Amino acid sequence: MFSLPSNFKFYKMKNLIILFALLASVNLKSQNHILLQEGEIVQVMLNEILDSRVSKVGDQVNFEVSENVMVDSIIVIEKGTLATGSIIHIKKANFAGVEGQLEFSIDYTVARDGQNIRLRSFQELDGESLTEEVIVAAVLLHPLFLVFKGKEATIEKGTLFSAYVDMDYSIVL
């Protein structure tokens, strides 16, 4: 007849303890993540002056997150974190009062766990158009008024913008 070793219960108990410890650690790991959902708003502040006279398509634009981004009262993107974007279209002010244009995107920031977070945002600014005033002055007074340019598009440092998280991210706590 087959008999169990006297320490069989000890080994069985030891294996059960190990199994429970493994299951508990897997459960703890899943609780150490939080979901940052697509569409979450990220407020950013421009860290530089943008001007249609000097900016070029492809230039990097620097921002910083202007307020904590929180999920379930937990900070997932900290205030002061850098964010980047790029210039996607420039049109300099032109004669006959045509205004300048400046378009840029806000592309990335970083979560508290170091993940790059893709953002989506498109911003467009037109300078002040003087076309109507210049044409009226040229017709009524003198054609040389047509050499007056419109105003360049300029965005001041510290201007606030909204960007949106582009997809779901699992943030490690």
Q: What is the pLDDT of residue 95?
A: 42
Q: pTM to 2 decimals?
A: 0.67
- pLDDT tens digits, 47-96: 999 988 889 999 999 999 999 999 999 999 999 999 999 999 888 765 44
Chain-centroid distance, C-alpha 41: 9
- Band (pLDDT 50/70/90 cuts) for residue 29 is very low
Third-level CATH fold of 34-172: Lipocalin (2.40.128)
Convert 59-81 to b/e letters by CB count within 10 Å (16 or more is b).
eebebebbeebeeeeeebbeeeb
- Which of the pair, 79 or 97, is modelled with greater confidence? 79
Residue-range domain boundaries for the chain:
34-172
**What percentage of residues in the chain have a pLDDT greater than 70?**
61
**What are the pLDDT digits (tens) for 152-166?**
778 899 999 999 999
- Please check the confidence at residue 35 and state whether its pLDDT lies above 80: yes
Phi then psi for residue 129, to 5 deg, are -85, 130
